[in-house]
């Protein structure tokens, strides 16, 4: 790695340099019937804080704090062999099944209706995935009828008989999950998937024409079939789907922090390539429709890989994918959120994977307390304050080279302007491991704006973690940044995530 000692960067922000309105759905998340996400996570009837439906109130409170607008369910890998009918109706007759995706035992105590009820409690809409691994058109169209049809038909009346009079009106539906992945039960070739997804979409839309559909893209930028998978599947699904999915996880397996936190260059390229492939298909089909992107699984995932191999097979709610996140993971997560915002003209939905216990910002002890992982913080601030219009920024930053990337800017940023609240918010990462970065931001078009707060996430130790008893990584406010003559001088400590929030008529 070449370390550049320059520690100054420049940025220009202008009100009229608009990327797009930020769709709040980019701050979505994901609960899979996996590990302790549901059982011992959101649902634990014997817990001290459990409500009348068995849901943990302490979890509900933290999820609400994150302001998560949409939550994907029930998988993930799990959905590719899932019979949704197992999870509805009287609990005593629900079958226990082998969950082949996660080597666990699924009791089906929680299913579609319970999840919809929980989502209401956290003020989120549901993004429902259908099984296109072992099943297909019939199971999918029946689930739409069960969920969304008002009544007077077999499946909608069955829902009513289960105690849910009103339709759930689930708007967003994923046509399967990661169907390009060899680990998937019922993996498909691009042709097989494209045809099945198109015909399934057609039938689902006949049941409910108001739904929005997500066609499966690649399970990661590193897939051998990427981007041919997108090109071939879209050939069939373009006219039926509204979105194509992207999934991506990163891990610092080589313990090379500078390289690790540069991974958003890959994410950025992934998004650009998917957009290019969608637009090629648009041109090829002479279509008027623009395909949007649903980045419906993204996060860091690697810490728990080895320990997961030791888990007892066929156990109920085993502790799986319980990554304990470090400070440097939070830096990368902050950058990933910046990347989503910078593409908000095409990325209209995204889900941090996942939400509770399983590669999650929120951790619980079964029968015990709750705590925030390091990654909770960039997610929280970006979700709460990153609403409005995403703005382009012109940036001049010193750069470095790492093992996999060249010309990595030390400064990684995104900007959101909320016209309604008259707030301008800058999310900024300093990737420099040694030096603080002084950023001069030209904000002349924001006359009369003052600094409300500069929130900083920093730590001497990139590997610092949080536990239930010791929160080593938490944000604080920094008073070193200031505004003078139309320039905001932001002081970003070495290796840090920052939020600078400005407001009109603020004194500072």
The CB-of-320 to ligand AHR minimum distance in angstroms stands at 9
Active site residue 507: no
x/- map, 350-389, ligand AHR, by CB under 6 A? ---xx-----------------------------------
Residue 177 lies near ligand AHR (rule: CB under 6 A): yes
Strand-pair category, 399-400 with 408-409? antiparallel
Residue 80 lies near ligand AHR (rule: CB under 6 A): no
Out of 28, 35, 75, 475, name the contact with ligand AHR by CB under 6 A.
Answer: 75
Contact criterion met (CB below 8 Å) for 342 and 393: no
The CB-of-34 to ligand AHR minimum distance in angstroms stands at 6
> Per CB under 6 A, which region of 70-78, 360-368, 384-392, 441-449 contacts ligand AHR?
70-78
The CB-of-223 to ligand AHR minimum distance in angstroms stands at 11
How far is residue 170's CA from residue 128's CA, in Å, rounded to a whole number? 7
x/- map, 23-52, ligand AHR, by CB under 6 A? ---------x--------------------
Residue 76 lies near ligand AHR (rule: CB under 6 A): yes
Residue 323 lies near ligand AHR (rule: CB under 6 A): no
Contact criterion met (CB below 8 Å) for 333 and 295: no
β-bridge mates for residue 130, sequence order: 175
How far is residue 82's CA from residue 305's CA, in Å, rounded to a whole number? 24
The CB-of-368 to ligand AHR minimum distance in angstroms stands at 24
HSE-up of 424 (CA within 13 Å, CB side)?
25
**Euclidean distance between the first and the last CA atom of the chain, given in angstroms as a whole number:** 39
Length of the chain: 508
Find the radius of gyration of the CA atoms of the chain. Answer: 23
Whose CA is closest to 293, among 234, 253, 251? 234
x/- map, 131-170, ligand AHR, by CB under 6 A? ----------------------------------------
Residue 408, helix vs strand vs coil: strand
| Size of the residue set binding ligand AHR (CB under 6 A) | 10
> Per CB under 6 A, which region of 69-77, 130-138, 165-173, 421-429 contacts ligand AHR?
69-77
In the complex with ligand AHR, the residue whose CB is nearer, 177 or 481, is 177
How far is residue 163's CA from residue 146's CA, in Å, rounded to a whole number? 12
CB-count exposure of residue 406 (10 Å: 0-12, 13-18, 19+): exposed
In the complex with ligand AHR, the residue whose CB is nearer, 221 or 344, is 221
Residue 475 lies near ligand AHR (rule: CB under 6 A): no
The torsion angles phi and psi of 258, rounded to 5 degrees, stand at -60, -40
How far is residue 336's CA from residue 319's CA, in Å, rounded to a whole number? 26
The CB-of-353 to ligand AHR minimum distance in angstroms stands at 4
Identify the active-site residue in 114, 125, 145, 178: 178
Residues identified as active-site: 178, 297
Q: Which residues bind ligand AHR (CB under 6 A)?
A: 32, 75-77, 177-178, 219, 297, 353-354
């Amino acid at each position: 790695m070449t370390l550049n000692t320059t520690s100054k960067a420049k940025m220009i922000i202008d009100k009229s340099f608009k990327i797009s309105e930020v769709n709040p759905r980019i701050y979505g998340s994901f609960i899979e019937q996996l590990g302790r996400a549901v059982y011992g996570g959101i649902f634990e009837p014997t817990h001290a804080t459990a409500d009348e439906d068995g849901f943990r109130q302490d979890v509900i409170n933290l999820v609400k704090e994150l302001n998560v607008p949409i939550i994907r369910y029930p998988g993930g890998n799990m959905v590719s062999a899932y019979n949704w009918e197992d999870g509805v109706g009287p609990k005593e007759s629900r079958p226990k099944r082998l969950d082949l995706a996660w080597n666990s035992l699924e009791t089906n105590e929680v299913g579609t209706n319970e999840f919809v009820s929980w989502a209401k409690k956290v003020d989120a809409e549901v993004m429902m995935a259908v099984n296109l691994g072992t099943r297909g058109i019939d199971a999918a169209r029946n689930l739409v009828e069960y969920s969304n049809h008002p009544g007077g038909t077999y499946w909608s009346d069955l829902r009513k008989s289960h105690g849910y009079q009103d339709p759930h009106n689930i708007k967003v539906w994923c046509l399967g999950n990661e169907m390009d992945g060899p680990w998937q039960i019922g993996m498909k070739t691009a042709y097989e998937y494209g045809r099945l997804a198109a015909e399934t979409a057609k039938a689902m839309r006949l049941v409910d024409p108001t739904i929005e559909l997500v066609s499966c893209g690649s399970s990661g930028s590193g897939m051998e079939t990427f981007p041919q998978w997108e090109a071939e599947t879209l050939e069939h699904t373009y006219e039926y789907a509204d979105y194509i999915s992207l999934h991506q996880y990163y891990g610092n397996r080589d313990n090379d922090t500078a390289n690790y936190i540069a991974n958003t260059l890959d994410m950025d390229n992934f998004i650009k390539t998917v957009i290019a492939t969608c637009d090629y298909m648009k041109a090829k089909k002479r279509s008027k429709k623009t395909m949007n992107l649903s980045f419906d699984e993204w996060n860091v995932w690697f810490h728990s890989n080895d320990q997961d191999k030791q888990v007892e097979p066929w156990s109920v709610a085993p502790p799986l994918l319980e990554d304990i996140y470090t400070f440097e993971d939070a830096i990368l997560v902050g950058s990933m959120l910046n990347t989503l915002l910078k593409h908000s003209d095409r990325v209209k939905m995204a889900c941090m994977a996942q939400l509770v216990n399983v590669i999650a910002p929120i951790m619980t002890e079964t029968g015990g307390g709750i705590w925030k992982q390091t990654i909770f913080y960039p997610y929280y601030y970006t979700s709460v304050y990153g609403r409005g219009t995403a703005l382009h920024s012109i940036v001049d930053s010193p750069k470095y080279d790492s093992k996999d990337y060249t010309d990595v800017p030390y400064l990684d940023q995104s900007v959101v302007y909320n016209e309604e609240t008259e707030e301008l918010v800058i999310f900024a990462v300093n990737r420099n491991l040694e030096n603080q970065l002084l950023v001069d931001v030209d904000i002349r078009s924001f006359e009369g704006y003052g600094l409300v707060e500069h929130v900083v996430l920093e730590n001497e130790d990139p590997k610092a973690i949080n536990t239930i008893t010791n929160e080593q990584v938490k944000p604080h406010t920094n008073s070193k940044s200031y505004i003078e003559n139309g320039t905001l001088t932001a002081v970003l400590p070495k290796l840090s995530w920052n939020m600078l929030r400005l407001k009109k008529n603020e004194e500072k």
